Structure 1
Amino acid sequence: MASLQAALLKRSARKNAERDGHVVLRPVGDGADTQFPLTYIRIGPSGGVPVLIVPGGPGLASVVPYQRLRRRAERDGLDVLMVEHRGVGLSRLDEHGNDLPSEGITIDNAVDDLEAVLDHAGVERAIVYGSSYGTYLAQGLGVRYPDRVAGMILDSPMLSVAEDIEAARAYRRGLFLEGTDRDLEPVSEAVRTALARGVPAEEISVVVQIAYEYAGPEILRQLLTQRSNGRSRRIWNKVATAGSAEIDGRGAPFYYEPDLVSRIAFRELGYGLPPDGELLDPQAMFVAAAARHPHFVAEPFDFPSQISSFSWPTAVISGGRDLRTPRPTAEKIVDLVPNAVLVPIADMGHSALDSHQLAAVYVTKMMADNKSGSLVGMERYIAGLPHRGAANLMRRAITGAVLLGRSTAAVASRLPSRARS
């Protein structure tokens, strides 16, 4: 089954590349003679300011996962470029057919790849849309090549390794342990009950993030309650192990390939930095994987001291349920960047590019039409757009499994005790 899926994804990638793809020969690393074909897609009408969309990861491909997004953007008159990240999908192999060497897979090189694509495409300046890890590359492009940026959209943004981890810890613990949001008290009570009944704290840390972001507080509360009562072990275990799959292993070829680019995640972005030993630590999901990957050395940029020089209009999209890159980080970026506006989306977790694509396209269209300032006050309209994107498959899967567990328990509770046994 896995081989069939890989074959279908490969076929889809090749088909997209034949129709809309372009190739730039790039060095595999600094000073290397060997090159590799860096692939990018360009779609949509010319004439306006092109949009360079950079997805997250590290490990997400561009060609296959975002076909529908590109079609939606094209229908709105947007000229879109997306780069297949070095070490991923159609940009995975060098000119001799070998995997790219790990020493060449760095943030510095990935940022330079974006600039090379703009050169190859004949794009003088572009609106740069980054999502999650893609916001790191977008800001890196802005710092290193500011003359290539006409505008910027930072969707679920990163800012600084140490500051981001501390912000995520404080935000999660405030919501679910310290009562900063009274509406979440039922979830906090369910967390405390799960701990009291022996559910492992490290599993709770992961499940809270994933279930809350994808499915919302009520489904999270029900899942915690079911697990505390000894039910729904299967869905619980799947959710509790889902996070590590995002940054460890081969993944799905041509869709999500974290294996080669995990060097960036751990060596430059601190994914493997140790938890602090307290509950709801965002580092908890990376503990097992960290032992198999390089130790953190340093991040390549100091954005808190650099992004105040950005002179272009900037929109910062922040989901109300985003626990990975929470609202305080987005607000800090808005404070640091001149001409930046916050675009809060209450009923959204992490990454509009993956969970709320109509909102992502709408914000991009407003930026392209020089109306980014009008995004202030549009939260209700943007949030009301239908949710589209691959992340909604996870939302439906978690929600369906939890509701099924509740229904099964309700039926069992009405059976005679002999039948239940």
Structure 2
Amino acid sequence: MTASTTTLPPSETKQSLLHSKWVQLLLGLLCMMAISSPQYVWALFTKPFLAELKVELAALQVTFSILIVLQTFFSPFQGYLVDRFGPRLLLTLGALLTGLSWILSAQITSVWGLYMTYGLLGGLGTGIVYVGVVGLMVRWFPTSRGFAVGMVAAGYGMGAIVTTFPISSSLTQNGFQQTLTMFGGLMAIVGMIAAQGLRIPASLTQAIADGVGSSTKVQSVKPLTMLKTPIFWLMFAMMTMMSTSGLMVISQMGAFAKNFGVADAMVWGMAALPLALTIDRFTNGLTRPLFGFISDRLGRENTMFIAFGLEAIAMFAWLNFRQDPVLFVLLSGVVFFGWGEIFSLFPSTLTDTFGEKHATTNYGFLYMAQGIGSILGGPIAAMIYGASGSWVPVFMVMIVLDATAAVLALFVLKPMRAKYLARQN
């Protein structure tokens, strides 16, 4: 006699695989990597666009501002659409819009055309994918949200490492128009294919059908109800503080490195500024799953206190050793290591507090803090520098914001959230 074995049909085997949280994490990571290039390799295209469009740099950089503002300020609406129509349809659309933003920008003949393609379509497309993937991960990993969100956020922060050198090489060999068309198509294809496998967890789908609204013990809260709670606005203020600090560094680093006299100094055979930027990209990605993993075990607010405090100390040390090229490079990496974790800690804490059913839309509202931070850390920080003639006041403001967020996390958010969850149960 031979032992009988039961084999699932190919369609059922495929469905079983797609309902593995690790497969979902991999697909979400691929989606994030596919849409990371518009933000992180924009600098490679500024020179050819300037030559083609014959505009000033300030006018060209409006494109990047449009990309970031639309990605963040429209995120509540984008999150609602993902919750309403499902991740597969909306993330497919987001990947398509992201790819089209590059393909169409290759054909433009005016800076306004660039605003409408690279800026508008790119901002809407990347925003849909970003909030959609984060919203899925907090649902698939209810007991390890910090790690899962950190992994996909790291994919967005570090994904462009895969494309930076190929795009740079293609620009030299093929020109910017062919490069945009080719890589735009590649982004769309990879993102759209990965999006086809994305699913909402079956446990959450059944809970919603039963009228429960969440697969965990936390009661799910609708966005409008969440917006009436002091806890949400405290988290919004804290994320704005931390976003301002990090985005000030991202947007102004070239300017203050030159002012400090270290931009072109040689460190280990490389110019200090590009070396620092390279290290920063890795530490900015590494910190997201690492601190997310720590928060799953140590607690969200405890981890925030450690990470945000580290950011404040690193910024203080960076300012005091600003004229030492080696320390400038090393401390820049520590600064980003203390900053990038906000993209795993805040969405995890928000979902822990307000439940899973409306997680994507709810995070969309919180993610708007990133847009406000880009304004405060960009033009407002530049105005402070212009008025004072020194970067020291700018750094001091950022250090105070980081330290305040750390204190608020441990001594205000932690007890406030504990009382709120006790009332919910």
TM range (shorter): under 0.3
TM-score for the superposition, normalised by structure 1: 0.24
TM-score for the superposition, normalised by structure 2: 0.24
More strand by share: 1
